[in-house]
Amino acid sequence: MGVITLGNKLNGEDYTGEEKGFFNVIATYAAISYRALRYKELSESGTGAASHIAALEGMRSRLRSEPTTLAVRRVVQEEFRAIGISGFAVYIQNSGCRDYRLFVCDPDDRLRLADLQPRITADSGLIREIAKAESPVIFNDFRRSRSMVEIFTDRQLKEMEQCDLYTLSLGGDLVGFTMIYALAREAIPEKVIPRMLKFSDIILPYLAVMSDIEYRRGSYIDTIEGILNRVDDECANARGLNIPVTLILFSIKNLKRYYALFGREKEKEIFSHFESFVKSRISERDFSARFDRNKILLVLPGKDRSYAVPLAGTICTEMSRKFGTRDFQLLVTHLTAEFPADGNDAHTLLDAMV
């Protein structure tokens, strides 16, 4: 923040304890005075806390006047562009499945979030990391962060210029968050940061209500397309690096029978255990996704079939052991396909496993 320049003494050891204490007092009062003057300057220049609240109240009035969620999204995009935010995404917790759904992002969708990350699961490492953290959560080394690598592809991480997450938690639950990944050249960080902090308090709750209304109205949801796009992205990245990508498609053959015997909660335990068991055995770049009611797709960038087949066998054995009883045996099978040997994209690779 600042420095006190002194003379006549050779080094810090030449100063007495009383002199050092006096300097600390000066430094403390100087910092307090600077902060007060800076706050006054920001307030008078229209970038202080009061001005942010007034601006966001105006934004909320605009949102209330819009008849559709599509119009609400356009208002958010316009407001973000006005303060120099060129890359962003707002995720809101879905009241049904409790995962976090992409509500709005920058108009160009530079990261292709609508295709690749239309939702982020509630039990992902990223959500667990930011749920209890104080807002904002700043990822200084986001390209090496395990929780970020788990969700976003290499191409997306390279496209990001920064990664600041502004969160809103109520009643101990993370309601939603805004990710800022790029600012325009003319953006003023001192204006963006406090505006986004107030945005989380004033606007994000309103967007959460709008998201819930949209969910209850029954919008069309395509979860498969996002998975296919993610696989295509990994194949494109592997093509450039000249490495393989292997897909494993697990099928639980008697899941309906298991559900009839043990119920919904025990059925959910199957998929929760699958995820936790697999995570301990795969790298940060690998990912899995539920592909159907009884199918799970595991994607292994950089791994060939010789690595995937033993891993698949271990997983099948574990699932049968964990959920088998004296009177019931869970039947889990798997099929594999390798890029580029069996196909050049997500569709041809999946076709190779049918």
Verify that 162 and 278 share a domain, yes or no.
Answer: no
pLDDT at 43: 45
Name the token pair of 44: 């008078």
Q: Give the pTM.
A: 0.60
Verify that 227 and 272 share a domain, yes or no.
Answer: yes
Q: What is the mean pLDDT of the chain?
A: 86
* Among candidate residues 202, 217, 232, the one where a domain is terminated: 217
pLDDT at 39: 45
Tens of pLDDT, residues 217-240: 765 666 787 788 889 889 988 998
Which strands sit side by side in the sheet containing 295-301, from one edge to the other? 287-292, 295-301, 245-252, 332-339
pLDDT at 233: 86
pLDDT at 59: 82
Verify that 243 and 157 share a domain, yes or no.
Answer: no
Verify that 118 and 255 share a domain, yes or no.
Answer: no
Tens of pLDDT, residues 252-276: 999 999 999 999 999 999 999 999 9
Residue 50 lies in a domain: no
Q: How many CB atoms within 10 Å of residue 233?
A: 20
Verify that 178 and 232 share a domain, yes or no.
Answer: no
Residue 7 lies in a domain: no
Name the token pair of 351: 């076709």
Q: Is 288 helix (H, G, I), strand (E, B) or coil?
A: strand
Query: What is the band of 116 on the pLDDT scale with cuts at 50, 70, 90?
Result: confident
Residue 57 lies in a domain: no
Domains in the chain, number: 3
Helices (H), the chain: 17-45, 49-65, 69-82, 113-116, 125-131, 146-149, 154-159, 189-202, 204-217, 223-241, 255-262, 264-279, 305-323, 346-351
Burial environment of residue 176 by CB neighbours within 10 A (0 to 12, 13 to 18, 19 or more): buried
Verify that 193 and 261 share a domain, yes or no.
Answer: no
Residue 106 lies in a domain: yes
Question: What is the share, in percent, of the chain residues with pLDDT greater than 70?
Answer: 87
Q: Between 316 and 216, name the one with better pLDDT.
A: 316
CA pair distance 136, 138, nearest whole angstrom:
6
Verify that 150 and 231 share a domain, yes or no.
Answer: no
Average pLDDT estimate for 198-216: 85
Query: What is the band of 294 on the pLDDT scale with cuts at 50, 70, 90?
Result: very high
Verify that 133 and 272 share a domain, yes or no.
Answer: no
Verify that 109 and 197 share a domain, yes or no.
Answer: yes
Name the token pair of 189: 């960080």
Q: Is 349 helix (H, G, I), strand (E, B) or coil?
A: helix
Integer CA distances (angstroms), 98 to 165, 173, 279, in order: 19, 10, 21
CA pair distance 216, 221, nearest whole angstrom:
12
Verify that 238 and 113 share a domain, yes or no.
Answer: no
Domain extent at residue 230? 223-351
Query: What is the band of 212 on the pLDDT scale with cuts at 50, 70, 90?
Result: confident
End-to-end alpha carbon distance in the chain: 63
pLDDT of residue 201 exceeding 80, the answer is: yes
pLDDT at 191: 84
Verify that 207 and 248 share a domain, yes or no.
Answer: no
Tens of pLDDT, residues 7-60: 665 555 567 777 777 777 677 666 656 555 554 554 444 445 556 677 778 888
Exposure string over 290-321, b if 16+ CB within 10 A, otherwise e: bbeebebbbbbbbbbbeebeebbeebbebbee
Verify that 16 and 116 share a domain, yes or no.
Answer: no
Residue 133 lies in a domain: yes
